[in-house]
């Protein structure tokens, strides 16, 4: 009787090699069977014709169902021990057991190991089933669930397992989970042949340096450092077998099998006090020890005593979040395990994430991920924020949060042009690049405006108190007296009570034009100055500071900032001591009109 896993391989007529994991049949060793049966392409179900379907056959079929294995060949052995009539009875018995399972179409081959009959047909059947298996996905995140660890004289530590989700090469640094031991791949073998690298789906022996055999055991997982984090809470939808002897109760202690690992866990049922045989529901498994699993991995749930397979499911979430509200939790989990790749990616975009991060969360390989991202962007269900993507709904949440913060700031400081960008950024907690992209989109959509370094709602106009309006009307009279030789901001504050904050607000309203920090003009004055300069330039081609001063009756002190202003707005530029026009005169005149009419002329 086989107690533990056995390993072998077979060369098909095509020349392809098939790795074989032999698992024990007896019910007492189901846990070993579970460690071996995980990442297989197909199953060779062996039933002896003289005995027919046994209880363990049914349990094995149930487990294969939970694990999603849907390709099989049935070997009906010991054909030499039974007559034709018995053989056909037993065959019907097996067919009945397979009915309604994903393996119902599996070819059944009668063989005799002693008489050596049917063996060629068996291998041919295996080959015909295996050619239909899809290629193994390569997520660039290799994982090898250890099924054996031993020491080999002359080599050192060796672990074996079935490699999934990526490749390992000689020289790679690896990490062993859950205890985070580091090691290096010193050698690789598949089917006893040394290789430079091993690809997904193959049976692999890794010769590891830097780690001792006694630190390793079945159930651990070899990964690329940092690519997977062991979790102590995992969530998934548990399907209870119709044949289970009893319901699963909330908080019940169960054994969870995933990969080659098994660990005790408490079941936290999210949709009711019990899960009855044949039913399914969302659950969180609170694990007694950390487990290295990825989203999309299958797990099997068993009752420890008396031992019985209860059911299992697919890992939907490994974020480790304890879900507080049950109904919310169910909604989240449903989204994360959605049937289409695009909706799984979308569920991972509940906050801005790089496509790589979101893809890993949703258990997608890079090509699935890229196609899904394109689909989501094209249909408008997701948007880009710098290096990240975010679901349209989540984008709305961020946008609303920004609008609320701005509204609050405007209420608190009605005079201010807006709220400082940094203050708003902290309200959404985004890195600068993503925040800028978000602001850019909101500005583009006409929802908010940028006023210098401040952000504001489009509707926000700084409002003045009656006292401030009175101060402003006195100051305006003073500014109008000699418009091109107006009082300085310092004078406006000391003599008219118009402080710098009020100046900023007035500039915001378009009542004032601020140039730099030390010059303030009425918009009309700026327009008059600009017109005079543009006309002179149209006539003579150049203008000096002195000429501009004489022409406008201003002073050097005021002409310097005014000419600088025209340079900054793209009307003129310096050429030695002169200014020249950089755009045609008519266009320059038009631009002057818009400059002083606009609400946000000041900087």
Residues near ligand GTP (CB under 6 A): 1-2, 24-26, 46, 77-78, 80-81, 112-114
Least distance to ligand GTP, CB of residue 52, Å: 13
Name which of 81 and 399 has its Cβ closer to ligand GTP. 81
- Our CB check for ligand GTP shows the closer of 78 and 434 to be 78
Interacting partner of 54 out of Mg ion, ligand GTP, none (Cβ under 5 to 8 A depending on kind): none
What residue 114 binds from Mg ion, ligand GTP, none (CB within 5 to 8 A, per partner kind)?
ligand GTP
Q: What is the C-alpha to C-alpha distance for residues 197 and 465, in angstroms, rounded to an integer?
A: 76
Residue 209 token pair = 């340096």
The Cα-based distances of 241 to 64, 205, 272 in angstroms read 12, 35, 17
How many residues are given for the chain? Answer: 603
Q: Measured at the alpha carbon of residue 197, what is the angle toward residues 194 and 200, in degrees to the nearest 5?
A: 115
Pairing verdict, β 221-223 and 168-169 = unpaired
Residue 23 beta carbon to ligand GTP: minimum distance, rounded to whole angstroms? 8
Phi, psi of 8 (to 5 degrees): -155, 175
Separation between Cα atoms, residue 215 and residue 225, nearest integer Å: 17
Q: Compare residues 46 and 338 and give the one whose CB is closer to Mg ion.
A: 46
- Comparison of 98 and 534: residue with beta carbon closer to ligand GTP: 98
**Selection from 520, 513, 516, 514 nearest residue 485 by Cα:** 520
Q: Please say whether the beta carbons of 372 and 364 come within 8 A.
A: yes
Which one of Mg ion, ligand GTP, none interacts with residue 26, CB within 5 to 8 A by kind?
ligand GTP
Q: How far is the CB of 3 from ligand GTP (least distance, A)?
A: 8
- Binding partner of 77, given Mg ion, ligand GTP, none, CB within 5-8 angstroms per partner class: ligand GTP
| Chain residues that interact with Mg ion, rule: CB under 5 A | 2
If the CB atoms of residues 29 and 472 are measured against Mg ion, the closer one turns out to be: 29
Q: Nearest Cα to 312, choosing from 272, 344, 351, 285?
A: 285
- 80 makes contact, choosing from ligand GTP, Mg ion, none, with CB < 5 to 8 Å by partner type, with ligand GTP
Residue 386 near which of ligand GTP, Mg ion, none (CB within 5-8 Å, type-dependent): none
Q: Which is nearer to Mg ion, 25 or 178 (CB)?
A: 25
CB 434 within 8 A of CB 385: yes
Sequence-separated (6 or more) residues with CB below 8 Å from residue 412: none
The partner in contact with residue 375, picked from Mg ion, ligand GTP, none with C-beta cut-offs of 5 to 8 angstroms by kind, is: none
Shortest Å distance, C-beta 29 to ligand GTP: 8
- Which is closer to Mg ion, CB of 26 or CB of 573? 26
Query: Which uninterrupted H or E stretch holds 175?
Result: strand 173-177
Rounded Cα gap, residues 464 and 287, in angstroms: 62
Residue 78 partner contact from Mg ion, ligand GTP, none using kind-dependent CB cut-offs of 5 to 8 Å = ligand GTP
> In terms of CB distance, is 46 or 330 closer to ligand GTP?
46
SS3 state at 174:
strand
473 binds, among Mg ion, ligand GTP, none (CB under 5 to 8 A by kind): none
Given Mg ion, ligand GTP, none, residue 70, with its beta carbon under 5 to 8 Å by kind, binds none
Binding partner at 219 among ligand GTP, Mg ion, none, C-beta below 5 to 8 Å by kind: none
SS (H, E, C) 255-319: EEEECCEEEEEEEEECCCCEECCCCEEEEEEEEEEEECCCCCCEEEEEECCCCEEEEEEEEEECC
The whole-angstrom distance between residue 550's C-alpha and the CA centroid of its chain comes to: 65
What is the spatial distance between Cα 383 and Cα 374, in angstroms, rounded to a whole number? 10
Nearer to ligand GTP, 86 or 155 (CB): 86
Reference 215, options 177, 253, 251; nearest CA is: 177
Tell the residue number behind the tokens 């149209």, with chain if given: 538
Question: Minimal distance in Å, beta carbon 12 to ligand GTP?
Answer: 21
Nearer to Mg ion, 113 or 377 (CB): 113
CB of 158 to Mg ion, least distance (A): 23
Which of Mg ion, ligand GTP, none is residue 81 near (CB under 5 to 8 Å by kind)?
ligand GTP
CB of 55 to ligand GTP, least distance (A): 13
Which residue's CB atom is positioned nearest to ligand GTP? 25
Which residue, judged by CB position, is nearest to Mg ion in the bound state?
Answer: 2
> Measuring CA to CA, which residue among 318, 387, 303 is closest to residue 59?
303
Least separation in angstroms between CB 21 and ligand GTP: 12
For residue 361, the number of C-alpha atoms closer than 13 Å in the C-beta half-sphere is 23
Nearer to ligand GTP (CB atom), residue 3 or residue 377: 3
For the chain, the farthest-separated pair of C-alpha atoms sits apart, in whole angstroms, at: 123
For residue 43, what are the β-bridge partners?
A: 72
305 touches 251 (CB < 8 A) = no
CB of 390 to ligand GTP, least distance (A): 52
CB of 148 to ligand GTP, least distance (A): 17
CB neighbours of residue 86 within 10 Å: 14
Nearest distance in Å: CB 113, ligand GTP: 4
Nearer to ligand GTP, 24 or 483 (CB): 24
d(CA 542, CA 80): 112
CB of 118 to ligand GTP, least distance (A): 9
**Smallest distance from Mg ion to CB 3, Å:** 9
Q: Which is nearer to ligand GTP, 28 or 173 (CB)?
A: 28
**Please, which residue, 59 or 368, has the CB nearer to Mg ion?**
59
How far is it, in rounded angstroms, from Cα 24 to Cα 3?
A: 5
The answer to whether 330 touches 270, Cβ cutoff 8 Å, is yes
Q: How far is the CB of 24 from Mg ion (least distance, A)?
A: 6
Burial of 99 (0-12, 13-18, 19+ CB in 10 A): exposed
């Amino acid at each position: 009787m086989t107690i533990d896993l056995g390993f072998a391989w077979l060369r098909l007529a095509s020349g392809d090699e098939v790795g074989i994991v032999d698992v024990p049949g007896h019910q007492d060793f189901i846990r070993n069977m579970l460690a071996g049966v995980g990442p297989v392409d197909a199953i060779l179900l062996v039933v002896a014709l003289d005995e027919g379907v046994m209880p363990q056959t049914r349990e094995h079929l149930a487990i294969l169902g939970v694990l999603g294995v849907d390709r099989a060949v049935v070997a009906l052995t010991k054909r030499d021990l039974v007559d034709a009539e018995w053989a056909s009875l037993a065959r019907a018995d097996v067919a009945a057991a397979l009915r309604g399972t994903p393996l119902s179409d599996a070819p059944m081959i009668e063989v005799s190991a002693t008489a050596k009959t049917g063996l060629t047909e068996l291998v041919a059947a295996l080959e015909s089933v295996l050619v239909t298996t899809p290629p193994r996905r390569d997520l660039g995140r290799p994982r090898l669930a250890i099924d054996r660890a031993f020491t080999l004289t002359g080599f050192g530590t060796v672990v074996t397992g079935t490699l999934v989700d990526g490749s390992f090469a000689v020289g790679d640094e690896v990490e062993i989970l859950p205890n985070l031991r580091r090691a290096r791949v010193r050698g690789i073998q598949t089917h006893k042949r040394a290789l430079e690298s091993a690809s997904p789906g193959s049976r692999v022996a890794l010769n590891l340096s830097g780690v001792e055999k006694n630190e390793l055991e079945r159930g651990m997982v070899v990964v690329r450092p940092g690519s997977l984090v062991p979790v102590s809470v995992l969530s998934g939808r548990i399907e209870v077998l119709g044949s289970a002897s009893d319901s699963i109760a909330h908080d019940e202690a169960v054994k969870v099998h995933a990969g080659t690992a098994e660990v005790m866990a408490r079941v936290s049922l999210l949709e009711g006090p019990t899960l009855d045989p044949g039913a399914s529901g969302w659950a969180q498994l609170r694990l007694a020890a950390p487990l290295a699993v990825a989203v999309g991995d299958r797990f099997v749930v068993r009752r420890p005593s008396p031992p019985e397979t209860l059911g299992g499911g697919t890992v939907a979430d490994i974020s480790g979040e304890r879900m507080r509200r049950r109904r919310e939790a169910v909604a989240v989990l449903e989204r994360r395990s959605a049937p289409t790749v695009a909706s799984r990616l979308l569920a991972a975009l509940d906050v801005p994430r790089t496509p790589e991060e979101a893809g890993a969360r949703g258990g997608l390989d890079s090509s699935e991920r890229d196609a899904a991202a394109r689909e989501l962007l094209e249909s408008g269900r997701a948007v880009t924020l710098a290096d990240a993507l975010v679901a349209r709904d989540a984008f709305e949440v961020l946008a609303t949060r920004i609008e609320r913060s701005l509204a609050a700031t405007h209420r608190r400081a009605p005079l201010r042009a807006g709220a400082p960008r940094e203050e708003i950024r902290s309200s959404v907690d985004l890195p600068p690049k993503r925040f800028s992209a978000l602001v850019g989109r909101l500005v583009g959509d006409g929802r908010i405006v940028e006023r210098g370094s401040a952000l504001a709602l489009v509707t926000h106009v700084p409002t003045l108190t009656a006292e401030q309006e009175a101060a402003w009307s006195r100051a305006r009279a003073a500014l109008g007296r000699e418009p091109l030789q107006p009082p300085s901001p310092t004078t406006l504050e000391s003599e008219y009570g118009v402080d710098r904050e009020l100046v900023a607000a007035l500039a915001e309203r378009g009542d004032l034009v601020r140039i730099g920090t030390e010059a303030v003009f009425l918009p009309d004055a700026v327009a008059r100055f600009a017109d005079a300069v543009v006309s002179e330039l149209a006539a003579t081609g150049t203008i000096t500071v002195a000429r501009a001063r004489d022409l406008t009756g201003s002073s050097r002190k005021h002409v310097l900032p005014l000419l600088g202003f025209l340079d900054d707005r793209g009307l003129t530029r310096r050429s030695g001591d002169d200014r020249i026009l950089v755009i045609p005169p008519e266009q320059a005149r038009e631009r002057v009109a818009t400059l002083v009419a606009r609400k946000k002329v000041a900087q």
